[in-house]
Amino acid sequence: MTHLKFWLAGLLGAGLVRALCTSTRVERIGTQNYEEFRELGSPVLFVFWHGGLLPLVHYHRREGIAVLTSEHRDGEYITQIIKRHGFRTVRGSFTRGGARGLRGLVRAAQSGYDIAITPDGPSGPKGVFKLGSLMAAQIAGLPVVPISVTASSSWRLGSWDRLIIPKAFSTIRLRYHSPRFVERSATRKDLAFMSMKIEDELNASTSMLSPHQNYMTVKGADLKSANDHA
């Protein structure tokens, strides 16, 4: 029964993502920062804040990307949704199931998949870059391409990540930042410095919410109406 519940939730959730994003338009900036690697047949590691997940699931569907998803029971919902968009999923995190998740990501990269990780997931703090994703890049030898996500008009879910829910006919801006390369000899101090630089870059390029925006409740969940000027 539990499996059926997750399956149905994934089906409904995937349909909702399509319904929300189909009417939006996308503006991509800096695509050469990952396309050049794809042309060479070399996988990359995408990193982005958890709050930008839904637009990226829609606009990068069926591209041969493996996504790290939480082992927590609630993580099964998002796992089902992204699977229905053509992603491969690797269960684990860098706080729970870290070794298994890391091994799964490395195997996926060796099989030719791009990798996607939310370095502030699975439960925050929001906008804080954890080192695990850079460790994965170091072991697998992958360039790291940060992605920032903004929307011209959206709601923000009242969850820890302030999940972006695009409004109809809004514009989604996806900015692909310059790739970083993690040396095999990099120390933990080196990784911490690089994570701080990427964290600053992503936070600086993500629109901040206005204190005058209004909250409203949709099916018991607090939503924040946002006009993010990308």
pLDDT digits (tens, 9 = 90+) for 10-61: 667 778 888 889 999 999 999 999 999 999 999 999 999 999 999 999 999 9
| 78, 68 Cβ separation under 8 angstroms | no
pLDDT digits (tens, 9 = 90+) for 120-134: 988 889 999 999 999
Q: At what angle do helices 188-205 and 132-140 cross, to 10 degrees?
A: 120
Number of C-beta neighbours around residue 57 at 10 A: 24
Instruction: Give the C-alpha distances (Å, rounded to integers) separating 224 from 39, 125, 128, 143.
Output: 40, 19, 21, 35
Is the pLDDT reported for residue 71 higher than 90? no
What is the pLDDT at residue 121?
Answer: 84
Q: Any idea what DSSP says for residue 94?
A: S
Q: What is the distance between the alpha carbons of residues 174 and 180, in angstroms, rounded to a whole number? A: 18
Interstrand relation of 154-157 and 164-166 (parallel, antiparallel or unpaired): antiparallel
Please report the domains of the chain, with CATH numbers, ordered by start residue: 2-226 (3.40.1130)
DSSP for 19-68 reads HHHHT-EEEEE-THHHHHHHHTT---EEE--GGGHHHHHHHTTTSSEEEE
Q: Positive or negative CA dihedral for 28, 48, 56, 140?
A: positive
With CA atoms as reference, report the closest residue to 44 among 24, 25, 63: 63
With CA atoms as reference, report the closest residue to 162 among 17, 53, 60, 16: 53
Mean pLDDT of 112-124: 93
What is the pLDDT at residue 92?
Answer: 78
What is the rounded average pLDDT for all residues in the chain?
Answer: 85
